[in-house]
């Protein structure tokens, strides 16, 4: 049993029409698949009768100085990883840039609004607009009942949820927990850029999240959690982009506010920009229970 690979609208429409009844799930990727993507595909397989995986390195979400040209591309390798997980009727959609943007840069795009301008959006202007534009196009093309996104890209996930809510899109968004290596480093296609020395230093992201979790457990409050993580990260990375404790709309928590939050951080090691996050509960008194996604340590 092998997955059907299609590259254009006609091939995709034919493959989708042949799928028959039952819900369809989509997993959108930029390829360079790793165990984090495969966890999304496995969850999609559990949730729906039919699965579509998209592989498309979306130029719209890369800034002019970012790694669009060197972003790893190997469709044969991606396909080999997907084959054991997918079966008859499942589809791998791998369009070209011309197929997705036949007139060049689109005249009409999606604006992520405020969430597209802070933290990731502040560091990468237009990035989340580019993400939402291609996500909307891929939702239209693949017509799924459920779309799965990784918690690893927490701000992207929040932006997608906001778009689905605000534009009344008929799709359910399902989040899948971050997959980590044994040492805790979150899996990312960009980890491949790290030298052994840089990979060791990149573990500061994990230590920073653990420091934040520890502070939260001791009742540090939002700013105490943020500062504990900041101190660890600042000592190890070549550039610290941000450390923040945010609510579900990605608004920084005020120091006098308790509740469910996400500690998000980003930094550069060598020339590789890495992001990570962990959900936690901020309460200005010690907390016993840990949320499910805890980094621990
Ligand atoms: O998370 C990614 O890999 C990309 O941002 C996505 C959602 C596939 C859109 O290009």
Determine the distance separating the centroid of ligand 1 and the alpha carbon of 27, expressed in angstroms: 9
| Residue 297 within a domain | no
Q: Does residue 28 have its Cβ closer than 6 Å to ligand 1?
A: yes
In a domain, 208, yes or no: yes
Please indicate, yes or no, if residue 293 is contained in any of the structural domains: no
CATH code of the domain covering residue 25: 3.40.50.620
Of 176, 211, 241, which residue constitutes the final position of a domain?
Answer: 176
135 close to ligand 1 (CB < 6 Angstrom): yes
Ligand 1 pocket test, candidate residues 32, 36, 58, most atoms within 8 A of CB: 58
* 169 and 235 within one domain: no
User: Which DSSP symbol is given to 168?
Assistant: T
Instruction: Give the integer Cα–Cα distance in Å for 31 and 96.
Output: 13
| DSSP secondary structure, 205-234, as one string | HHHHHHHHHHHHHTT-HHHHHHHHHHHHHH
Atom number in ligand 1 closest to CA 29? 8
Q: Which domain holds residue 142?
A: 4-176
Instruction: Give the chain's domain count.
Output: 2
- CA of 154 from ligand 1 middle (Å) equals 12
* Strands ordered across the beta sheet of 146-150: 4-6, 91-93, 50-55, 24-29, 146-150, 172-176
- Determine the distance separating the centroid of ligand 1 and the alpha carbon of 288, expressed in angstroms: 35
184 within domain boundaries: no
- Whether 152 and 245 share a structural domain: no
Q: Which CATH number goes with the domain that contains 200?
A: 3.30.1300.10
Question: Cβ-count burial of 240 within 10 angstroms (0-12 exposed, 13-18 middle, 19+ buried)?
Answer: middle
- List the structure tokens of 96: 């070209």
Give the sign of the dihedral formed by CA 30, CA 72, CA 112, CA 272: positive
Residue 226 belongs to a domain = yes
CA of 253 to the centre of ligand 1 (A): 27
State the distance from the centre of ligand 1 to the C-alpha of 237, rounded, in angstroms: 25
User: Is 182 inside a domain boundary?
Assistant: no
- What whole-number distance in Å separates Cα of residue 121 and Cα of residue 112? 9
Domain contains 220? yes
CA 236 to chain centre: 24
Do residues 193 and 127 share a domain?
no
153 lines ligand 1 (CB under 6 A): yes
Q: Is residue 292 part of a domain?
A: no
SS3 per residue for 61-115: HCCCCCCCCCCCCCHHHHHHHHCCCCCCCCEEECCCHHHHCCCCCCCCCCCCHHH
Residues 23 and 159 in one domain: yes
Give the residue from 116, 146, 176 where a domain finishes.
Answer: 176
The reply to whether 82 and 171 lie within a common domain is: yes
Q: Pocket of ligand 1, candidates 27, 29, 101, 140: which has the most ligand atoms within 8 Å of its Cβ, to mutate?
A: 29
Question: Which residue has the least CA distance to atom 7 on ligand 1?
Answer: 28
Give per-residue pLDDT as tens, 38-77: 999 999 999 999 999 999 999 999 999 999 999 999 999 9
One domain for residues 117 and 243: no
Q: How far apart are CA 125 and CA 153, in angstroms?
A: 16
Shared domain for 157 and 267, answered yes or no, is no
Q: Whose CA is nearest to atom 1 of ligand 1?
A: 29
Question: Final residue of a domain: which of 176, 201, 217?
Answer: 176
Do 256 and 110 reside in the same domain of the chain? Answer: no
Question: Does residue 148 sit in the same domain as residue 206?
Answer: no
The reply to whether 271 and 166 lie within a common domain is no
- One domain, residues 96 and 129: yes
Q: Tokens 């609208």, residue?
A: 9
Percentages helix, strand, coil for the chain, rounded to the nearest 5? Answer: 40, 20, 40
pLDDT in tens, 98-132: 999 999 999 999 999 999 999 999 999 999 999 99
Ligand 1 mean position, distance from CA 156 (Å): 8
Q: Which of 61, 112, 132 to mutate to test the pocket of ligand 1 (most atoms within 8 A of CB)?
A: 61
Task: Extract the residue ranges of the chain whose pLDDT is less than 70.
Answer: 1, 286-294, 296-297
Catalytic positions are 37
What atom in ligand 1 is closest to the CA of residue 150? 1
Q: Are residues 169 and 196 in the same domain?
A: no
């Amino acid at each position: 049993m092998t997955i059907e690979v299609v590259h254009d609208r006609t091939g995709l429409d034919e493959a989708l029409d042949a799928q028959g009844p039952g819900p369809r799930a989509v997993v959108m990727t930029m390829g360079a698949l790793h165990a984090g993507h495969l966890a999304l595909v496995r969850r999609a397989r559990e949730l729906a009768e039919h699965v579509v995986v998209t592989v498309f390195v979306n130029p719209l979400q890369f800034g002019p100085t970012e790694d669009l040209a060197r972003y790893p591309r190997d469709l044969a390798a991606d396909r080999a990883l997907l084959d054991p997980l997918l079966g008859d009727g499942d589809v791998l959609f791998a369009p070209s840039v011309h197929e997705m943007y036949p007139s060049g840069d689109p005249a009409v795009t999606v604006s992520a609004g405020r969430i597209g301008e802070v933290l990731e959006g502040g560091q990468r202007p237009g990035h989340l607009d580019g993400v939402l534009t291609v996500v909307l196009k891929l939702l239209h093309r693949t017509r799924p009942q459920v779309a799965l996104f990784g918690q690893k890209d927490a701000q992207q996930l929040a932006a997608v949820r906001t778009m689905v809510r605000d534009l009344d899109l008929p799709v359910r968004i399902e989040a899948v927990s971050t997959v980590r290596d044994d040492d805790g480093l979150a899996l990312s296609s960009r980890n491949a850029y790290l030298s052994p020395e840089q990979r060791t230093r990149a573990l500061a992201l994990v230590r920073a999240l653990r420091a934040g979790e520890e502070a939260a457990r001791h009742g540090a409050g939002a700013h105490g959690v943020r500062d504990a993580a900041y101190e660890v990260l600042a000592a190890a990375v070549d550039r610290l982009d941000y450390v923040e404790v945010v609510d579900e709309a990605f608004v920084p928590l005020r120091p006098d506010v308790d509740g469910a939050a996400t500690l998000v951080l980003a930094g550069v090691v060598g020339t590789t920009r890495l992001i990570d996050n962990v959900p936690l509960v901020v309460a200005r008194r010690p907390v016993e229970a840990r949320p499910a996604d805890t980094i621990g340590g």
